[in-house]
Structure 1
Amino acid sequence: MGGVVEAIYIAPEGSAEMQPVEEVKAIEGCGLDGDRYCEGTGYWTPSGDVCEVTLISGEDLDYIQDELGLRVKSGEHRRNIVTRGIDHAQLVGKRFRIGEAVLEYDRPRPPCAHVQDLTEPGMTRALVGRGGHCARVVEGGRIRPGDEIVFLT
């Protein structure tokens, strides 16, 4: 086992507040149902710099909140899936199952100034090196908080 899903967030369009969900459907070649990037309404959609699904470490969010004093526990990080108990370096080059879905590592997701515009000063700097990763949906299916993250390759 590689860890678990701690929380899931989606936003219906770019700049919209991230909303926690108790279940989401991952759609192959698209992302998360109802999320801005799968819907084509994300901030970066016109530039083509789109991640189907973004993941971020809960341990990194703990550090940002506890050590730097920034609010990140309610989706201010702008990432879809918060993981717990997994070293994100292990994701590189891998396929992994989360719930019913199979995802594949795509690339790191560095923070952008837009994240800070939507949150508070210092957020972009806090997320440097802790911005999470992008993944592609290889096989669709339901994902829920508490689902295990299981490496396939």
Structure 2
Amino acid sequence: MSVLTELIAGWAQPGRVEWIGLRVERRGEMTVVDEVLISADGLEGDRSRAGKRAVTLIQQEHLAAIGSYLGRRLVASETLRRNLVVSGINLAALKGREVQVGQAILRFSVICAPCSRMEEALGKGGYSAVRGHGGWCAEVVRPGRVRLGDAVQPVD
């Protein structure tokens, strides 16, 4: 194994699930829950899509970054409409890897690009503020239950 491969495979600590939200209907309010079952098609009760976009995740640390680009302190989790907010681990460093989130195993596939609704939700500049900080889409490798406080870590 090369030094670079070894460095890329490393991680300092597990992350943690901080927030869980369900998008029950298009443009509807987010439903905040303490736990959820992730099935092969995505989160139960969510209007998620199967495949590479079954689950969406964002780092809690990026909520503050997005807010700072807008002259605010923090953007609320539900504003970005991602399913899971996690802290303490760099999601971008996990691209393409299998990651255990609670009992489920996910594979991060593509970034969650901002949609034009970000201007509506965050105001002028909202779309640009989210670029590069919108989180990740993941496919379900193994279904399982996810609860607030659960660990987020690569499967080695």
TM range (shorter): 0.7 to 0.9
User: How many residues matched?
Assistant: 143
Structure 2 residue aligned with 1:64: 66
Give the unaligned 5+ runs of structure 2: 1-12
TM-score (norm 2): 0.82
Deviations 1:16-58 (A, max 9, x none): 1112110111001x110111125x9xxxxxxxx9710001010
Residue 150 in structure 1 maps to residue 153 in structure 2:
yes
Counterpart Cα distance in 1 of 2:73 and 2:125: 8
- Do the aligned partners of residues 67 and 113 (structure 1) sit closer, same or farther apart at CA in structure 2, a change above 3 Å counting? closer
For structure 1, the 5+ residue unaligned runs are 41-48
**Cα separation, partners in 2 of 1:67 and 1:116, compared to 1, 3 Å:** closer
SS of the residue aligned with 2:106? strand
State the AA in 1 paired with 2:110: R
1:37–1:50 contact (8 Å) kept in structure 2: no
* Matched residue, 1:121: 124
Return the offset for 1:112: 1.1
Would the aligned equivalents of 1:96 and 1:149 in 2 still touch at CA under 8 Å?
yes
Alignment correspondent of 2:18: 6
Contact 2:64 2:74 in 1 (8 A): no
Q: Does 1:139 align with 2:150?
A: no
Q: CA RMSD in A?
A: 2.1
- Whether 1:79 and 2:67 are equivalent positions in the alignment is no
1:25 to 14, 27, 37: 37
Classify the secondary structure of the residue corresponding to 2:34. coil
Give TM-score scaled by structure 1 length.
0.83
Identity %: 37
Alignment of 1:89-128 (within 5 A): 89-128=92-131
